[in-house]
Chain A
Amino acid sequence: MNASNLKPVLVIGGSGVVGRRAVKALRELHPELSLRIGGRDVNKAAALARELGHAEAVRIDLAREDLGLPPDAAFSAVVVLLKDDSLRTMKYAQGRGVPYVSFSDFVFDIGPEVALHIQHPTASPVLFLGNFLGGTVALATLQFARELKKVHAIQIGAVFDEEDVGGPAANADMERLTKGVPSPLIRKDGKFLWATAEEDVTRTFQGADGTHWQGRAYPLLDVATLAAVTDASTVRLDFALRAASSRKPGEGPGHEVVIELTGELPDGTTAHVRHTLVDGDVHSGLSGKGVALAVERLLGLVGGAPVGPGLYSPEGVLDSAHVVERLKAWGTRIQRA
């Protein structure tokens, strides 16, 4: 598949905090791929489009079934970086038979999208990309798990700078979390559990530099999808916040992810394997890169033919070795500790 032959990729929320990083990463990967930056503020989107090249801004009206787009508009994919509570964007993608990427789902609120896919199972590839950092962490986890014959436990800890909070879409997500299902999903002793007890919700983990952090479980799709792929009997994802005052001079609000795996090596011995991902950008940077990697895969620009209709997790479409190589090339420091 040649990027210059494709219709534009529509990125709704494309000038937001994650969106601008996603389209820049996509542009870097595919200089010829045409992009449409959709947002409510067309001036902001237009400025970004000029900066990117091969891109235009489009005004999106989520209150309309046609999204406010002209009838002859045609796209190669619809990528939605905000929570579309109406699901009109998904219906639009299904109606045109193009891939749909849903970035902003928590683990508890995919039901309406699942039903819409079940109603029209052969219409579009539908990718749930609500996973942590646009699926990059789940894919890195699977890559690190390759040295194990059987994975027993996956424990992921992340440390964010307190000033690394994301944009309006992220704030809306936090509000939905509070109003939706505040209890996080974890897998413990082989059972899925919507944790309410404090000892289940919290976990202490060691950061990349040895600092101990008190994390809280967060309800992202990774727990469900990593459990499905590995059948690990313990799976959890915990977030901790670091005070901005603890930054070293000249450092920005970077973040780190610690992926700890316990399992069985091919020789039958039990191993505890620890990897760290350290990134100097705000966390939306890796999220945006995850979106770009997913889009190029769905379109068949890398890793095989275009992905056919179906319901997908990032683990189901992306190659873990490719994702880790990409992240390293982009400057994320990945180490086996």
Chain B
Amino acid sequence: MSSNPRKPVLIIGGSGVVGSLAAKALRRLQPDLPLTIGGRDLSRAQAVAREVGLADAATVDLSRPDLGQPASRAYSAVVLFVKDDTLNSLRYAQTHGLPYLGISTALFEVAPEVALHMHQPTRSPILLGSSWLVGSTTLPALLFAREFRALESIAIGAVLDEQDVGGAAAYVDLDRQKAAPNNLILEDGQWRWVGGAAALRAFRDTEGNDVQGQAYSLMDAPSLAAATQAKSIRFDVAVGTSAPRRRGEPFSTEINFELEGTLHDGTRARVRHELVHPEGQAPMTAVGVAVGVERLLGLAGGAPVAPGLYLPHVLIEPEYLLRRLQEAGTRLRRA
């Protein structure tokens, strides 16, 4: 690896279900980018590293400020596939001036990360990747919004198969987020916390089945509220049986977008778009992370990102992410 001028990207949780897919997605996009697969189980991380190529493995200890890394190790970025409750990983990135990407922080729990940015704003570019499937929802929504002169509402309904929640890290996320039983939606220009029946929204999946969604607040709605004029924005997830599995086939994942407003030609319209991945959420999440990492490092879409606080939509062109998602098997349909 000494012949490669670039230091490896440290992928913490890189041997997990989604992390290992993301390492492979990053490898496809960047054949020459060295990676370090970080995990608690070194032999498992080594197996993923061998499979990915141009990668090695490291044991990461999030309870230590140095993450258990020898002083001689140096990285080019830190990517988190687990929720780091200590935030030692973010401090480590800031200490070494490295880009940082995390994907597991729900809207209600961003404050400790934001506070670290406010404390040392010029140390690291921090990408808050915790929107649904790491930008794979917000960015296409912004693309679909372009045909509107005056966008009024965005309602997004995602179907997550109960067999497709992810690995151990995803279950830790769900358990932790039980502390926040309510979710934030934008309704007629006002942010509102909703719970119980008010948080439910039924929508139709891509094959016409009615599914019951529930509001879930990641950074999608705040991102779309900041980037558009829409007065009502909500994101709902239906966890259950995806359409193919109703027929006995393997699960899929899907994201349904419904936008309403006035088009550029002055007519009112309600437009629906659907994104489907026949293998579930993990390949889309993997692409979202891979595109985020290559953007942070300046390997695609622009120069290396300067220190600051970012959301995916301010760094990445929606067309580019959508193209990468489609190359990885995501299907787009205007319904």
Check if B109 is an interface residue, CB within 8 A of chain A.
yes
Give the docked Cα–Cα distance between A111 and B222 (Å): 7
B residues near A (Cβ < 8 Å) are 63, 85-88, 91, 107-112, 114-119, 121, 128, 176, 178-182, 184, 186, 189-195, 217, 219, 221-223, 225-227, 308-311, 314
Query: 1/0 contact trace for A104-138 toward B, CB 8 Å?
Result: 00011111101111111100000010000000000
Name the B residues within 8 Å of A120 (CB-CB).
226
CB distance B314 to A118 under 8 Å? yes
Name the B residues within 8 Å of A176 (CB-CB).
193
Name the A residues within 8 Å of B309 (CB-CB).
114, 117-118, 121, 311
Given contacts A110-B111, A121-B308, A192-B112, 16 further A-B contacts (CB under 8 A): A87-B191, A109-B184, A111-B217, A112-B184, A114-B110, A118-B128, A176-B193, A179-B182, A180-B108, A181-B108, A181-B180, A190-B63, A190-B88, A196-B178, A221-B115, A225-B119
CB distance B115 to A112 under 8 Å? no
Name B220's closest neighbour in chain A (CB-CB). Answer: A115
CB distance B119 to A111 under 8 Å? no
A residues near B (Cβ < 8 Å) are 63, 85-88, 107-112, 114-121, 128, 176, 179-183, 185, 190-196, 221, 223-225, 227-229, 231, 310-313, 315-316
Name the A residues within 8 Å of B87 (CB-CB).
192
Name the B residues within 8 Å of A228 (CB-CB).
112, 115-116, 118-119
Min Cβ gap A9→B in Å is 23
Min Cβ gap B92→A in Å is 12
Contact partner, B193, options A128, A179, A224, Cβ 8 Å:
A179
Min Cβ gap B114→A in Å is 6
Min Cβ gap A85→B in Å is 4
CB distance A115 to B180 under 8 Å? no
Name B192's closest neighbour in chain A (CB-CB). Answer: A85
Name the B residues within 8 Å of A310 (CB-CB).
121
With A179-B182, A190-B86, A229-B119 already in contact, the answer to whether A116 and B110 are too (CB < 8 A) is no
**What are 23 A-to-B residue pairs whose CB atoms are below 8 Å?**
A108-B109, A111-B107, A111-B110, A111-B184, A112-B184, A114-B110, A114-B114, A117-B309, A118-B226, A180-B182, A181-B180, A185-B109, A191-B85, A192-B85, A192-B86, A196-B179, A225-B118, A311-B114, A311-B117, A311-B118, A312-B118, A313-B119, A315-B119
Min Cβ gap B180→A in Å is 4
Name A176's closest neighbour in chain B (CB-CB). Answer: B193
CB distance A115 to B219 under 8 Å? yes
Give the docked Cα–Cα distance between A110 and B117 (Å): 14
Name the A residues within 8 Å of B118 (CB-CB).
128, 225, 228, 311-313, 316
Give the docked Cα–Cα distance between A231 and B282 (Å): 34
Name B315's closest neighbour in chain A (CB-CB). Answer: A118
Give the docked Cα–Cα distance between A225 and B116 (Å): 7
CB distance B121 to A221 under 8 Å? no
Contact partner, A115, options B112, B192, B193, B225, Cβ 8 Å:
B225
Min Cβ gap B316→A in Å is 13
Name A233's closest neighbour in chain B (CB-CB). Answer: B86
CB distance B111 to A108 under 8 Å? yes
Give the docked Cα–Cα distance between A114 and B227 (Å): 12
Closest CB pairs A-B (n = 3): A194-B179, A115-B222, A228-B115
CB distance B193 to A191 under 8 Å? no
Name A113's closest neighbour in chain B (CB-CB). Answer: B222
With A115-B225, A118-B311 already in contact, the answer to whether A109 and B121 are too (CB < 8 A) is no
CB distance B195 to A179 under 8 Å? yes
Name the A residues within 8 Å of B176 (CB-CB).
194
Give the docked Cα–Cα distance between A97 and B179 (Å): 37
Min Cβ gap B133→A in Å is 18
Name the residue in A114, A185, A223 with the highest tally of chain B Cβ atoms < 10 Å from its Cβ: A114
